[in-house]
Amino acid sequence: MELNLRNAVVLITGASRGLGREFAIAFAGEGARIAICARDSTKLEATAAAVRQRGVECLAIQADLLEGAACQRVVDDTVEHFGRLDVLVNNASASVDTTPKSIEVATDAQVMARINGKMLVAVRCARAALPHMRKGGGGRIVNIGGTAARTTFRPGDLPSEGSGLAQGLGNSSLANFSKYLADEVAADHIVVNTIHPHLIRTDRHTQRVTWQAKKFGVSESEAEAQIAAQIPIGRILEPSDVTPLVLLLASPLSGATTGQAIAVDGGALRGVTY
Ligand SMILES: NC(=O)c1ccc[n+]([C@@H]2O[C@H](COP(=O)([O-])OP(=O)(O)OC[C@H]3O[C@@H](n4cnc5c(N)ncnc54)[C@H](OP(=O)(O)O)[C@@H]3O)[C@@H](O)[C@H]2O)c1
């Protein structure tokens, strides 16, 4: 399918590694022009180089999105460089896998970590992006949430040291914001959707395998097999399992799918979502 993303200007937050990096490379494969941001400028530049190798332009913007004006600056720099903004992928997120298991010992900062470190960052980036998308006649916003939006993960449910509370609060608030925004900007031809990944093989996965192996006293390959056994499709999900949906929702073809939240979970969540 031709996704019509050639020369589209795409900003991906948190794209120095993990899913964001894979998204950038996938958009490069479609001929898009790409801006990426993250805090670690060395990793960011390495990703930018990998993107440019695919023959497209890539602007690398070093930024800590938790700092007040950073989201606006990242959007402004992108538009100044490319002259427009067609797609925003809100992917950056604070890592919260070690949030304490009980709210009795979790601090306010730990409870709020992903609300501030993901949802609020997405709000700020979207706020900065909207005028440029309107000016360009429309746009696409893809928010990367997580399956913790749809269920509670109690301590021990996930291969993680902490509870799923901070993930749940952050991802569910992101999905709610996404739906709200979709309604607000629908008439401007801007569509907004959320993707909920589940246990994807990124750096976070490596930490999970180490933790699982330690918890059950097994080798890392046995721990990996234990995690895979919990996924109905029988394997750990790869970043490449998520990229096709990101590209599709970012495409000009997807003009009528808005306000939706779609999980990429290998069938792991049993709840029925209508
Ligand atoms: N992997 C999974 O299993 C999984 C499951 C569910 C949901 N998700 C969601 O998918 C998204 C990507 O996950 P991932 O596994 O690829 O995460 P990751 O490997 O931890 O990468 C996160 C990216 O965000 C950047 N980042 C973090 N904090 C930032 C900040 N304050 N300012 C700017 N950039 C920042 C990081 O770069 P720097 O550290 O250099 O800033 C990095 O590029 C996240 O929203 C995550 O919650 C992932």
Residue-wise pLDDT tens digits, 192-242: 999 999 999 998 899 899 999 998 999 999 999 999 999 999 999 999 999
Distance 20 CA to ligand 1 centre (A): 7
Report how far residue 196's alpha carbon sits from residue 209's, in angstroms, rounded to the nearest whole number.
21
Using CB atoms within 10 Å of the CB of residue 88, give its burial: 0 to 12 exposed, 13 to 18 middle, 19+ buried.
buried
Q: Which residue is it, tokens 């479609």?
A: 30
Distance 68 CA to ligand 1 centre (A): 19
What is the per-residue pLDDT for 204?
Answer: 87
The closest-lying atom of ligand 1 relative to the alpha carbon of residue 144 is 45
| pLDDT tens-digit series, residues 129-182 | 999 999 999 999 999 999 999 999 887 888 888 889 999 999 999 999 999 999
Report how far residue 172's alpha carbon sits from residue 151's, in angstroms, rounded to the nearest whole number.
9
Distances (CA, A) of 96 to 37, 84, 102, 178: 20, 33, 14, 21
The ligand 1 site (C-beta within 6 Å) comprises: 14-20, 37-40, 43, 63-66, 91-95, 118, 144, 146, 197-200, 202-204
Domain boundaries, the chain: 9-200+237-251+259-264, 202-229
Q: What topology does CATH give the domain 9-200+237-251+259-264?
A: Rossmann fold (3.40.50)
Nearest to 125 by CA among 173, 67, 80, 168: 67
* Degrees to nearest 5, angle at CA 175 with 172 and 176: 90
Ligand 1 pocket test target in 65, 204, 245 with most atoms within 8 Å of CB = 204
Average pLDDT over residues 115-137: 98
Nearest to 230 by CA among 269, 272, 268: 268
The closest-lying atom of ligand 1 relative to the alpha carbon of residue 93 is 45
